[in-house]
């Protein structure tokens, strides 16, 4: 039994300990992996911006009706999108050892926001706003050594085409800004990145993946009130007018070849500093989703459960909202 325990410990150390040295070709390995990462994230970014203001009421009514509350939930991004880039940086095994639990589900990115709506004048419409943020220090639902952060703010206007007592049917237009990222600490080994005969090297460090987007969202939603319960369903299409991604590692630069400084000017997507190596990219993209859920009402309080599925990215999300609604 003692030998078995020692064997398991030895295998565990081999899995979680980075190799001493890693040499990677930028053109053959890192660049194509990052291009894939950028394209996949472009399909997911618009979807992430839909968290917040995801209520089952298709329309809250005209002025003076209003509602305000707190939404918490999560959205996921494809596991492969991040793993393949981590693998290109030479830390695929270490990354999978830490984050592999999300392999079949996708990364759950925890999100929260304050959101509210106000009924409009004359025409049957309502206006909504949302704001949320999460600093790295407050990351939740992430394994040890992993941090997630984000900033989100946006607004929405919905026009009611049909109103109760039959049902509520509305169409909406929303605009949202979202910035966020994932950092995995102390995971990279010493890196040497080659550009043909030229090279640059870094010490051990962290890997990171950041994104930023501004998107427009179109949606159609129906809801029906049944005594103290409201049920809903809808479809939405989101497009990123602006979407950028960054990825790389944070480490100390330990050396470079004599011709590297002249060569790097040929790679505008790269930012090579003394403390980091960053690859940048941009790709606009669509997200098509279905959503629906149920709301439970107690006097003026509403507890709202909503689920979402992104057809293009194959990712999912869910939110819980508690609000005061008059």
The residue with greater pLDDT, 4 or 135, is: 135
Asked if the model's pLDDT at residue 172 lies above 60, the reply is yes
Rg (Cα) of the chain, in Å, rounded? Answer: 23
d(CA 122, CA 136) in angstroms, rounded, equals 44
- The pLDDT tens digits of the residues spanning 3-31 come to 333 222 222 322 333 333 578 899 998 88
The residue with greater pLDDT, 263 or 88, is: 263
DSSP states along 145-158? TEEEEEEEEEEEEE
Chain-centre distance of CA 52, in angstroms?
A: 13
d(CA 237, CA 290) in angstroms, rounded, equals 9
Mean pLDDT for the chain overall: 85
Asked if the model's pLDDT at residue 282 lies above 50, the reply is yes
Q: Residue 4: its pLDDT value, please?
A: 31
- The pLDDT tens digits of the residues spanning 235-247 come to 999 998 888 888 8
Secondary structure letter of residue 274 according to DSSP: S
Q: Residue 35: its pLDDT value, please?
A: 81
Residues 6+ away with beta carbon under 8 Å from 4: none
Mean of pLDDT values over 168-173: 97
Alpha helices, DSSP H only, in 68-109?
A: 79-88, 92-99
Segments of 163-197 assigned E as strands: 168-188, 190-195
d(CA 135, CA 222) in angstroms, rounded, equals 35
d(CA 222, CA 3) in angstroms, rounded, equals 63
Q: Residue 24: its pLDDT value, please?
A: 87
CB 223 within 8 A of CB 231: yes
Asked if the model's pLDDT at residue 42 lies above 60, the reply is yes
Question: How many structural domains does the chain have?
Answer: 1
Mean of pLDDT values over 194-204: 94
pLDDT band at 221 (very low <50, low <70, confident <90, very high): very high
Q: Residue 281: its pLDDT value, please?
A: 85
Structural tokens at position 138: 């407050």
Q: Maximum Cα–Cα distance for the chain, whole Å?
A: 79
Q: Residue 127: its pLDDT value, please?
A: 98
Task: Point out which residues pair with 279 in neighbouring strands.
Answer: 247, 270
Asked if the model's pLDDT at residue 323 lies above 80, the reply is yes
Mean of pLDDT values over 283-292: 87
pTM value is 0.82
Asked if the model's pLDDT at residue 78 lies above 90, the reply is no
Range of the domain at 34: 2-325
What does DSSP say about strands 146-162 and 301-310: parallel, antiparallel, or unpaired?
unpaired
Q: Residue 69: its pLDDT value, please?
A: 95
Q: What is the crossing angle of helices 79-88 and 31-48, to 10°?
A: 150
CB 213 within 8 A of CB 178: yes
CATH number at residue 79: 2.40.128
- The pLDDT tens digits of the residues spanning 109-131 come to 778 899 999 999 999 999 999 99
CB 44 within 8 A of CB 284: no
pLDDT band at 140 (very low <50, low <70, confident <90, very high): low
d(CA 253, CA 298) in angstroms, rounded, equals 59
Task: Point out which residues pair with 287 in neighbouring strands.
Answer: 238
Structural tokens at position 98: 């830490």
Task: Point out which residues pair with 306 in neighbouring strands.
Answer: 293, 319
Comparing 30-44, 166-180, 237-251, 283-297, the range with the smallest average pLDDT is 30-44
Which contiguous run of DSSP H or E holds residue 270?
strand 270-272
d(CA 28, CA 125) in angstroms, rounded, equals 53
The residue with greater pLDDT, 4 or 75, is: 75
pLDDT band at 303 (very low <50, low <70, confident <90, very high): very high
Specify which of 187-191, 281-285, 313-317 reaches the highest per-range mean pLDDT: 187-191
Short-list 196, 197, 184, 194, CA closest to 248? 184
Q: Is 85 helix (H, G, I), strand (E, B) or coil?
A: helix
Residues 278, 22, 204: CA angle, nearest 5 degrees: 60
The residue with greater pLDDT, 100 or 144, is: 100
């Amino acid at each position: 039994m003692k030998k078995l325990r020692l064997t398991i410990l030895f295998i565990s150390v081999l899995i979680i300990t980075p190799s001493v040295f890693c040499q990677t070709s930028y053109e053959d390995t890192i660049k194509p992996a990052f291009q894939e990462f950028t394209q996949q994230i472009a399909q997911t970014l618009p979807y992430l911006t839909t968290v917040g203001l995801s209520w089952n009421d298709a329309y809250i009514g005209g002025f003076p009706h209003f509602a305000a509350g707190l939404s918490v939930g999560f959205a996921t991004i494809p596991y492969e999108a991040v793993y393949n880039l981590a693998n290109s940086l030479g830390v695929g095994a270490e990354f999978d050892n830490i984050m592999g639990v999300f392999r079949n589900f996708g990364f759950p990115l925890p999100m929260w926001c304050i959101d509210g709506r106000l009924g409009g004048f004359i025409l049957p419409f309502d206006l909504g706003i949302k704001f949320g943020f999460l600093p790295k220090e407050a990351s939740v639902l992430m394994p040890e050594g992993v941090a997630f952060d984000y900033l989100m703010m946006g607004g929405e206007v919905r026009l009611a085409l049909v109103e109760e007592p039959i049902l509520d049917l509305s169409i909406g237009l929303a605009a949202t800004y979202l910035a966020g990222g994932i950092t995995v600490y102390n995971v990279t080994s010493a890196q040497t990145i080659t550009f043909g005969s030229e090279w640059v090297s870094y010490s051990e460090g962290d890997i990171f993946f950041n994104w930023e987007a501004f998107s427009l969202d179109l949606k159609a939603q129906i809801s029906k009130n049944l005594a103290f319960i409201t049920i809903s369903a809808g479809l939405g299409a989101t497009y990123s007018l602006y979407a950028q991604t960054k990825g790389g590692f944070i480490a100390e630069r330990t050396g470079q070849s004599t011709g590297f400084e002249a060569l790097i000017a040929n790679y505008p997507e790269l930012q090579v500093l003394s403390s980091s190596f960053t690859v940048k990219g941009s790709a606009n993209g669509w997200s098509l989703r279905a959503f629906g859920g149920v709301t439970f009402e107690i006097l003026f309080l509403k507890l709202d459960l909503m689920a979402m599925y992104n057809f293009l990215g194959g990712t999912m999300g869910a939110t819980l909202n508690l609000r005061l609604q008059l």
